[in-house]
Each structure stands twice: as C-alpha cells, then as structure tokens.
Chains A and B, each alone.
Chain A
Amino acid sequence: MNQACFAAGLQRMPYARYLGISYAEESGIFTLGFRPDLVGNPRLPAVHGGALGGFMESVALLYLGGTETLGRVPKPVDFSIDFLRSAAARDSFARCEVLRQGRRVAQAQVQCWQQDASVLIAVGRGHFILEEPAPQARQA
C-alpha cells in the first residue's frame, strides 16, 4: 500500500486520525504513537486494550481499503482480539496480512508489538465486506 492510499483512507476515517495512526510505506508497518489519553490503567501504566484493539481493527480497514483501491472503507463483519501481553506506555506497531481475498469478503489478520517485533502483545483477525450487494438484494 502506498502513502497516498493510506492518506486517502485516513481522510475517510476520522477516528483513525483521532487515534493518531501513521504508516511507513517502505516497511508496511503502522504505528500508534503513545499519548497519555490512550492510557487504560494509570497504575501500570498501560495503553487501553480498546484503544489497542481499535488501532488493530483500523489497520485492517486501512490496509484492505488501501490495497483494494475500493474508493471507500471496507465494512467490518467481525473482529476478534487475543491480548497476549500488557501494552506498556510506549509506541505500538502493527502489520496486516490478508489470508483470504474473495470478491466480496476478505479475511485479514493483524499482529501488534512494541519494542520487539518478535514479541507480540496482541493479535487480531476479522472479516470485512469489500463490495456492497446489488441494490435489489440489499436489506434495510
């Protein structure tokens, strides 16, 4: 995915902009920069699990939207996260891999780490609709 596609995806997705997600084209790695207002537990302190999950789901949406040249945001069907380690108060990184790319639905998974790419703090997986059904088949 190139930087222009990432920027276009971000433009459609205000919440991903609010989280502060950035992307490096050469490595394909997404970054969630640490901010105090992303903290879920001030005692540890740790990044909020929901913020981390939202980062990972947004990475899948941005990646699928950017590589598919959909011209719009994919529609999530489901998303599951396994939390493996506590997310410390520092930057988090993620990369997305598409395991199945159908015409209408894609399966994508996201790996998330902090200091060491081989020590994952969370993994996510989900299904995303790439194409809307024809108008006559659409339900309210």
Chain B
Amino acid sequence: MDHAAATHPLILHYPTSVPHCGALGQEVVAVESGWVRVRQPYAEHLLGDIERGWIHTSVQLTLVDSAFGAAVLSAFDTPEPIATLDLRMDYHRPAVAGQDLFVDARVERVAAQIVFVSGTVWQERPERPTAVARAAFMRVAHGKAVVGQEQGQ
C-alpha cells in the first residue's frame, strides 16, 4: 500500500463512519477504484462454534456487507447514497480460530440504478476462500423508490 492509498478517505474514516465496523475492529487495508480489502482481526468473541474452533459465519457476512458497501463507494467519482438489496453467502470451508479474516470486494458492474459486487473471504491466502459472496446495491439518488438497507454516503 503506497502513501496515497493509506490516506484514502475510506481507510481513514471507515471505523468511525460505520460504528458497528469500528466496534468489531474492522479496517480497510487497501483501496483501488472499485476494489477494497478489509481486515477483521481475530477475537474470541467472534467464534460461532467453540467446540470445533470455528469463527461464526455471521462475522464473515457482516464483514462482506461492510466491505461491499466500501467497494461501491470507491467506484464513485462523487459520493452518493446506496442501499443493499440482497446479499448471498456461500460458505466454502470453515474459518478457523486464531487467524484474521480478510475480504476482497470487487465491483462487477455499475449500472444506472444498480451496482453489482462480488467478493471472497479468506484467511491464509485469497485462493483458498472460506466464503464467496455476491450482492446487489441500489443507487438511492438515481431512483425514486428507496428500499433496503441504506448505508453510508
């Protein structure tokens, strides 16, 4: 990550502009136009199965929802409000205790009213995802109807 990337507004303001992400300790570690990598540091309270030592899949879901929103914002020249229409998670393998989670989120298509995003959650390396995800966002200011879960500006 170069200096310019480190001072990107998404990296600087992410934890404070999205309180839940700040509470979980999530941080944007890299940004390009239409692409972000977000880190979720490991913590014991993120486990979903203490007997098998697995991180909760819902932690991955939350990480994906946040990172996808950030990826959409990174694709815009000027900030605009967005709302998540739907989100799908496929859990390929368990995320194990003791290791951080990363998500790489990529904007697939910016259409007039909708933005399509896909991404992978991983621990050791991106080629070995714990989850693969896909979502559609509505560009709220570009349509009359406001539905769904509005996110940051």
Contact = CB atoms under 8 A, between A and B. Distances in A.
Interface of A: 11-19, 36-44, 46, 48-55, 57-58, 61, 72-73, 75-87, 122
Interface residues of B, number: 45
A51 B57 contact: no
Given A50-B65, A81-B87, A14 B19 contact: no
A36 B19 contact: yes
Interface in B35-55: 44-52, 55
Interface in B48-101: 48-52, 55-59, 61-66, 83-91, 94
Contacts, number: 152
Contacts of B146: 86
Contact of A57 (B46, B58, B148): B58
A78 B91 contact: yes
B86 A15 contact: no
17 contacts: A13-B50, A15-B45, A15-B55, A40-B18, A40-B66, A46-B149, A49-B151, A50-B61, A50-B65, A55-B58, A61-B48, A77-B91, A79-B89, A79-B91, A83-B83, A86-B83, A86-B149
A45 to B, nearest CB: 9
Contact of A49 (B55, B84, B90): B84
A50 B19 contact: no
Given A17-B45, A41-B18, 7 more contacts: A15-B48, A37-B22, A50-B20, A53-B58, A53-B62, A80-B86, A85-B147
B108 interface: no
Contacts of B151: 40-41, 49
Contacts of B111: none
Contact of B23 (A37, A44, A72): A37
Contact of B50 (A14, A37, A52, A85): A14
